[in-house]
Structure 1
Amino acid sequence: MYTKDKYSLRTVLLWTRRYIYIFVLISVIPVVLYQLAGWKWLHLPWRPIGLVGTALAFISGFKNNASYGRLWEARKIYGGIVNASRLFATMVNDFITNEFTENNKTDEELFLIRKTIIMRHVAWMTSLRHALRVKKPWETSGNNTSDKEHMQSIHIQEYKYTLEEELDGYLSDEEKNYVLDKTNKQTACLNLQSKNFKELKMDGLIEDFRHMEFKNIIGELFALQGKSERIKNFPYPRQFATLNSFFVWFFILLLPFGLMHEFEEIGISLIDSLSGNEIYFFIAKNFIWLTIPFSIAISWIFITMERVGDVSENPFEGMSNDVPITTISRGIEIDIREMIGDDKTEIPNPHPEYNNTQM
């Protein structure tokens, strides 16, 4: 999915607000104990904490690059599905004719044959996106409260409707029962296409060369399906993902203990340099309290990088920065049904956005 830029900061702040509440507690408690309770021993030198933060930035950058690579590969796969679908519709239009048959079909009969094939292709895309939306144990959307709340606000179609409901009108009852009975529904749809092309060849509506070209395009669709299933079923290595999360929280817990001593030192130096102004003196004396907003801000930056990397690892979950497979599939359906001359009143509209987010 894609969220418009002007809503991004607000969306991210809302998405991470529970972490911000935790950061407030983590930063306030040490400062109160240090400044009000007089626990002046309660601090750590900044240099080792700074080294941890520097190392963590490199580790998080590595993780986010790898996560973005998975996201970008998923988007390229769906770009391939767009191109292959349009080529497929062109072939269906131009290859299925009366040129080689002894039993000529009427234009209406040829259109119905073409439309059946195109609708079956839409059923394949529908089955594929439902398979890609199935929750996996390593995905964050199933166990992270913020992710679940966000996904409820954008109404993901695959979680709202079952595959059986969405296949209505795209397959005959017999074909629908065949597909739903299989473990891999999308493979079953392509298998039905292959059988149909064999029947068309037997009827003379396509000859050997065209039959071979249809087989090639089915092979391309199988390859694209397999690539998307590979990303879905093989997670980002958990040792990298889990350790990075531990390191982030370790750094966040240490951060206020290093910052408050640094801010106190700055306050002391300001007191020594100021003369007579009570307001400036009060600010300098309480400079240590700036630890709280700075600690919250730095912690928020690191946790947001961590969370963005987490959700980008699995680009088909349905989060705002995932590949909008529902929107893309609907766009493909509109294109290929228009290409075969289908009735415009029967073609669905583009998929709507929810909270300015494409799904």
Structure 2
Amino acid sequence: MHLGKHYKVSEFIVWTRRQIYLLLAVGVVPVLLYQVLGLRWLTIPLTVVGLLGTATSFIVGFKNVQTYNRTIEAQHLWTSILNSSRFWGTSVRGFIAHPGDARELVDRHVAWLTCLRYELRSPRPWETVNNASNAEYRDAYRIPEQDVALESELRKHLGAAEHGRVCDAKDKATQVLWLQNSALKRMLDEDRISLTVYVELNKVQKEFIDQQGRAERIKNYPYPRQYAIINTLFVWAFCILLPFGLLKEFDKLNEGIGGLMQGCMVWLVIPFSATISWMYTSLEQVGESTENPFEGSANDVPITLIARTIERELKELIGATDLPALPVPVNEIIL
């Protein structure tokens, strides 16, 4: 998540520069064919290009709204996890008499958060964080889940036996929830908590299961691929055809121009077509970078920050002193 007012224009241009190079090349080809080789018939009515541009605008706008909604849903989800975790912490503090039991339940919950955020940061084939422009920009910030192995993080919160079981499990977050429920049942059987407390804490556990499922749905089910490909096809069809539609329009400008630019106005098709096309390709690139809110991009939901905030608050509730430090922004970006 970017914590500044906005990205710098220079950052945005550098991020999209590969598209700019390609768009300039797309504009050069029709101008060379028209102006140098004399293929004057090689034009397209600007009305046709305008209709395609209008359709492309609708497609790009639809995609960006949907990808934005995915990010907003992810933000709401982790806000729900934060609120449910606070309720878990206050319930543990209020209902669990033995400090050791309270610390165990809090640590195991933090272990669940740790497993969940590591799972959400794991790569998927459709994600764009490893694309050239995003991978280059990734050097400007840190992805905590790539700095420290999950096994090392879990050792801070789980005993040796549970640590081994969780690390051997395929679905580690679900395994931690199962261990938490087993611990609650054991406390009930040993009369360390009442049946009412057991039922209430299990209700919160069900909320965690639901929230994990919602997070996994966002992570494992991308923006529909059929819409993604049609968006790309429309954008690049417009970008390729736009220079052909502008050739005759800029050629007409030669009639009222004298001096150095006489007969050369067609060359202006290159910068103007590239600028217009860049607006479309930039919107598409922004949509792609917003599509997957857990992939580790600069626009991600800051799940590591939220998880550490929960850990600090819960440990403080039970009187622990080993509070973890919160992540700090690097170049105004925090995950």
What range describes the TM-score normalised by the shorter chain of this pair?
A: over 0.9
1:198 to partner: Cα distance? 1.4
CA distance in 2, matches of 1:241, 1:8: 27
Alignment correspondent of 1:62: 62
CA distance in 2, matches of 1:301, 1:149: 21
Q: Secondary structure at the match of 1:140?
A: coil
Task: Report matched runs for 1:82-161 at 5 Å.
Answer: 82-97=82-97, 110-142=98-130, 144-161=131-148
Q: Secondary structure at the match of 2:90?
A: helix
Whichever residue aligns with residue 301 of structure 2, its letter is: V
Alignment correspondent of 2:297: 319
Whichever residue aligns with residue 109 of structure 2, its letter is: H
Task: Report matched runs for 1:197-236 at 5 Å.
Answer: 197-236=184-223
Q: Secondary structure at the match of 1:21?
A: helix
Q: Which moved more, 1:211-220 or 1:112-121?
A: 112-121
Alignment correspondent of 2:41: 41
Q: Which moved more, 1:256-265 or 1:175-184?
A: 256-265
Residue by residue over 1:4-63, the C-alpha shift from the partner in whole angstroms, topping out at 9 and shown as x without a partner, is: 234343332222111111112111232233233433233221110110010000011111
Whichever residue aligns with residue 45 of structure 1, its letter is: P
TM-score normalised per structure 2: 0.94
CA distance in 2, matches of 1:318, 1:260: 43
1:284 to partner: Cα distance? 5.7
Whichever residue aligns with residue 7 of structure 2, its letter is: Y
CA distance in 1, matches of 2:9, 2:91: 45
Residue by residue over 1:178-213, the C-alpha shift from the partner in whole angstroms, topping out at 9 and shown as x without a partner, is: 111111100111111111111222232210111100
CA distance in 1, matches of 2:274, 2:308: 42
Count of residue correspondences? 335
Return the index of the structure with the highest Cα Rg.
1
1:337 to partner: Cα distance? 1.6
RMSD: 1.7
Residue by residue over 1:123-179, the C-alpha shift from the partner in whole angstroms, topping out at 9 and shown as x without a partner, is: 11110011111111222224x221222234322112232211221211111111111
Confirm or deny: 8 A CA contact 1:327 1:350 kept in the other structure.
yes
Whichever residue aligns with residue 356 of structure 1, its letter is: E
Q: Which moved more, 1:85-94 or 1:150-159?
A: 150-159
Identity %: 41
Confirm or deny: 8 A CA contact 1:81 1:221 kept in the other structure.
yes
Alignment correspondent of 1:179: 166
Alignment pair present for 1:248 and 2:235 = yes
Alignment correspondent of 1:165: 152
CA distance in 2, matches of 1:60, 1:4: 26
Q: Which moved more, 1:2-11 or 1:70-79?
A: 2-11
The answer for unaligned runs of 5 or more in structure 1 is: 98-109, 272-277
CA distance in 2, matches of 1:253, 1:115: 62
TM-score normalised per structure 1: 0.88
Alignment correspondent of 1:101: none
Alignment correspondent of 2:315: 337
Q: Secondary structure at the match of 1:303?
A: helix
CA distance in 2, matches of 1:284, 1:328: 62
